[in-house]
Structure 1
Amino acid sequence: MHITSGSALYHYTRSGTSVKKLYEASWVRYCAVNRSGDKIFVTNSMSELLTLSKDGTILSIFTDRQLQSPTAVHVTETGHVLVCWKNTIIQVDIEGNKNVTSLAIPNVDNPLSMCNLGKCIIVGSSNILVLKIE
């Protein structure tokens, strides 16, 4: 399991035993792990999306003028990396290096969570939005 504390990203066993601190910064709130478990995507206080290896090594740092104070990060079943901020979802390539596309999401401000179920992305805040994808 990967847990953020607000200032660090930690790796824990499923039984709750701490393995190690993987990353530390002044603001670490959101993380997501790809399906194979070899990449961890983390947002930080500098409005960056970091791609870490499973041992915490920084593989890449993604910045984009659209990415300011990200509020959620998610990796879909197909490996697409999605990052939210305000009312926008940015899709980043599977390496975490570049913006593939951006999507304005209506009626959702500062989403706090995302998940996908089949061909739907569910975005949650004070409202719930279900987006059908192909």
Structure 2
Amino acid sequence: MPLKVQKVALWSGEIEDKPGTLAKVLEPFAQAKVDLQVVLVERNPAKANFGVVYLGPVKGKKATEAAKSVGFSEVSTPVVLRIEGQNKPGLGHLMTNALAEAGINLSFVKASVLGNKFVAFFAFDNDADAKKASRILSTLKLPRG
């Protein structure tokens, strides 16, 4: 079974690094019944006491209003691909090695396994690298068993 690869349009904003700020950011999305599929949060090493949130998808009027109400905007970088499929030992190496052999650099990777399935978010510095990576990952020959 091939990997499912799709581009994810992210919205982003800055938050204070203190208890409750992420909950406040997510509240308007919950109230609008927006089904966020990805929420990535990390501290900003360049700015003490602040973090950055990436989330998506933000589609439709209610979702867009929720995002704007917390000061978020759509970002052009990083360009993120959502990859999902059957989990197999060594698959992370197989995917990242295929990209390395193609000369594609990753901005970040977030991945998780649940049961026998995995989902990963691979980020790239530009759309050209993401498109090339999407082609490579979509056609990657996966190990059997």
Whether TM exceeds 0.5 here: the answer is: no
Q: Which has the higher contact order (CA 8 A, sep 6+)?
A: 2
Relative to its length, the structure with more helix (as a share) is 2
Q: TM-score, normalised by structure 1?
A: 0.31
- Determine which structure has more spread, i.e. the larger CA radius of gyration: 2
